Amino acid sequence: MKSASGPRRASSCAIVRDRIVSPKGKCGKREVRLPASLAAKLRAHLAAQPDQDSTALAFLSEADGPLDPGNLRRRVLKPLADKVDAPWAGFHTFRHTFASLHLSQGTNLLQLSRALGHHSPAFTLTRYTHLLPGDEAPALDLTPHIEGRSEAEGIARSK
């Protein structure tokens, strides 16, 4: 883990059919940046765990193994989604929300692509284009640049 305000290096893995597996590609391994307050809470949680090995899971099932995504979806996410009248919400919704919030805040597309673990910004753009506001590019006013150049050219010609 880096400084409290810096990123926490995540151990890149996925749970597939009750097994912990490596990411599909090299882009899947990345740093996950956390706000300092959340990083501090995570540090405290990890310090309270009996297994301090760097490969230990941060969150365990009641059987001290990896959380079962299907069980978590069925027992936690679905009831919460139903309670707030969002039956469409799933785990992937959080990823989509992450991307849309970053796009709305003007995050650099290359940085967002890396954070999502995509192989290229082009892939990120094709996946999340519908989240960008407006269908058309705004008018580009070049008047200040043209006028500025004209004045400079005028001065150069008069000499």
pLDDT digits (tens, 9 = 90+) for 55-91: 778 888 888 888 888 889 999 999 999 999 999 999 8
Q: For helices 121-128 and 109-116, what crossing angle results, to 10°?
A: 90
Structure pTM? 0.63
98 three-class SS: helix
Phi, psi (deg, nearest 5) at residue 97: -65, -45
Compute the distance between CA of residue 36 and CA of residue 69 in angstroms, rounded to an integer: 27
Residue 28, both tokens: 């899947």
Compute the distance between CA of residue 67 and CA of residue 19 in angstroms, rounded to an integer: 10
